[in-house]
Structure 1
Amino acid sequence: MTLTVARGPSLTEQAAAYIRGRIVRGTLQCGESLSELALAQELGISKTPVREAILELKRQGLVDVQPQRGTFVFEMNADQVVQLAEVRSILELAALGLAIDRNRDALRRVWFEIVSAMDVALATGNTEDYRVLDGAFHQAIFDVADNQYLSETFTVVAFRIQALRNRLSLDPDLNITSFDEHQRLLQHIGEGEVEKAVKLLAWHIEWTRDRYIKFLKVLTTAETTVRNYERRQRLGDHKGSLARG
């Protein structure tokens, strides 16, 4: 008789899941510095599994390890956001076509449950539940498509897409627009309007891309304003010192 022992997640896997969750939810902001020591203390483990977890997250594109400088949460400029949206569009539209061909009714059922839950989350102002459901809505396309290699390819960019989506979901007005598009996608699938569903999904991805680029511009403007203010303060202090001297 062979005894099979179930293996739980290793410390490295647990650390990776913890850090990934904080990045995806937005608790750790884009560009924020990561401390192996601080993370190890939070988790109550040594630095070694944290270091290994960071290397795994680097492979997933969620952290940037810079020699002699440190480790940072990923950042994206407008060009990178455009490229990510291009890859997302190619993969999701391909998956939607397969899902519709293989089991359109299953997709409709899963989407109906998710959209119903999204409606509740939106009505109660639960943005955290809403953005998790938003991610589940798009993941359902790949689940129903049932193509292992397509799903694995999407996984390469899925966490980064979810992280960007979560940052946008902090705006209630954007959530309302997003929810409306998810409802319409469900309606098109339910009524067999395949071409309309494909066009709307493509538009939905483009809309998300444009909103995030706008978000980046606002963020950059705000950061520039802060830097200019700090520079003026330093110059003012310097002039004051010279006058006193």
Structure 2
Amino acid sequence: MKLTRPKSLKEMVVDELRERIIDDRLNLGASLSENTLAADMGLSKTPVREALQQLQLEGLVEVMAQKGTFVVRIGAEDVLQISELRKVLELAAIQLAIERNHEALVDIMSEIMVGMQLAYDTKDMVSYQKLDGQYHQAFIDLCGNKYLRDAYSQIAARTQALRSRLSRLTELNSRSIVQHHKVLGAIRTKDIPALLKELELHIEETKVAYLEVLEHGAMSERETETP
């Protein structure tokens, strides 16, 4: 039996702050105070500082000279560029995953899809969006190309932060669940043309939804202090 190394304090803080950013407990553009976060978690500043440095590498935190540390601000141009890169990487990854790990891909994505359908049916949109992220990450993980995985890791957290902020858009969710079923169906039958068409449409529709949310101010910069 393999033993699992316990997480370090820094890793636990990274996980906690990442979750707070992704699920919108920490708003986009929010100011981050090491002192406040450390007091909130009952920790010293050192693991908090190290965690913020890690989240900066993940693109979830930005440090502005003489201003401080903030949750990343995601504007329209960021959404466009993230969506462009998603198309390039996800369309390539899903074809490689089918070619190299088809059986495992179907098994893992089928299990995730069951959870997504249950979350959708019970209107648990927080769980739905988390599973949505796992759904897309599955074919990235199974593509068999570590450089592609590394490239995707540069946008994965920001994509999930955006995704979670769409959880109340009922019409988008209803289209999303259908699209995810279609993508999985095409994976099962190895229908590559249908698969690529459906996945590209899905990414494009979420891009448009992100831009609409930005335009209406729901994801605008809010200079709030860390709770």
TM-score with structure 2 setting the length: 0.90
CA apart distance, 1:9: 2.3
> Which residue matches 2:29?
31
Distance in 2 (CA, whole Å) between partners of 1:56 and 1:164 is 19
* SS class of match (1:169): coil
Distance in 2 (CA, whole Å) between partners of 1:221 and 1:114 is 28
* SS class of match (1:27): coil
Distance in 1 (CA, whole Å) between partners of 2:117 and 2:52 is 36
Distance in 2 (CA, whole Å) between partners of 1:7 and 1:134 is 28
**Relative contact order (alpha carbons < 8 A, sep ≥ 6): 1 or 2 greater?**
2
CA apart distance, 1:220: 7.3
Distance in 1 (CA, whole Å) between partners of 2:217 and 2:9 is 36
> Which residue matches 1:144?
142
Q: Is the 8 A contact 2:28 2:219 kept in 1?
A: no
Distance in 2 (CA, whole Å) between partners of 1:184 and 1:85 is 20
Q: Is the 8 A contact 2:28 2:220 kept in 1?
A: no
Distance in 2 (CA, whole Å) between partners of 1:222 and 1:98 is 37
Summarize the Cα distance change of 1:222–1:36 in structure 2 as closer, same or farther, 3 Å threshold: closer
1:225-236 to structure 2, matched below 5 A, reads: none
Q: Which has the larger radius of gyration?
A: 1
Can you give the 5+ residue segments of structure 1 that lack an aligned partner in the other structure?
224-245
Summarize the Cα distance change of 1:221–1:105 in structure 2 as closer, same or farther, 3 Å threshold: closer
Matched AA of 1:113: E
Distance in 2 (CA, whole Å) between partners of 1:40 and 1:139 is 31
- The alignment status of 1:192 with 2:195, answered yes or no, reads no
Distance in 2 (CA, whole Å) between partners of 1:30 and 1:70 is 14
Summarize the Cα distance change of 1:86–1:113 in structure 2 as closer, same or farther, 3 Å threshold: same
Can you give the 5+ residue segments of structure 2 that lack an aligned partner in the other structure?
222-227
Q: What is the root-mean-square deviation in Å for CA atoms of aligned residues?
A: 1.9
1:1-245 to structure 2, matched below 5 A, reads: 7-219=5-217
CA apart distance, 1:10: 2.2
TM-score with structure 1 setting the length: 0.84
**Greater fraction of residues in helix:** 1
Q: Is the 8 A contact 2:105 2:139 kept in 1?
A: yes
Deviations 1:128-176 (A, max 9, x none): 1111110110011112212222112211111111110111122222211
Instruction: Work out the number of aligned pairs and report it.
Output: 219
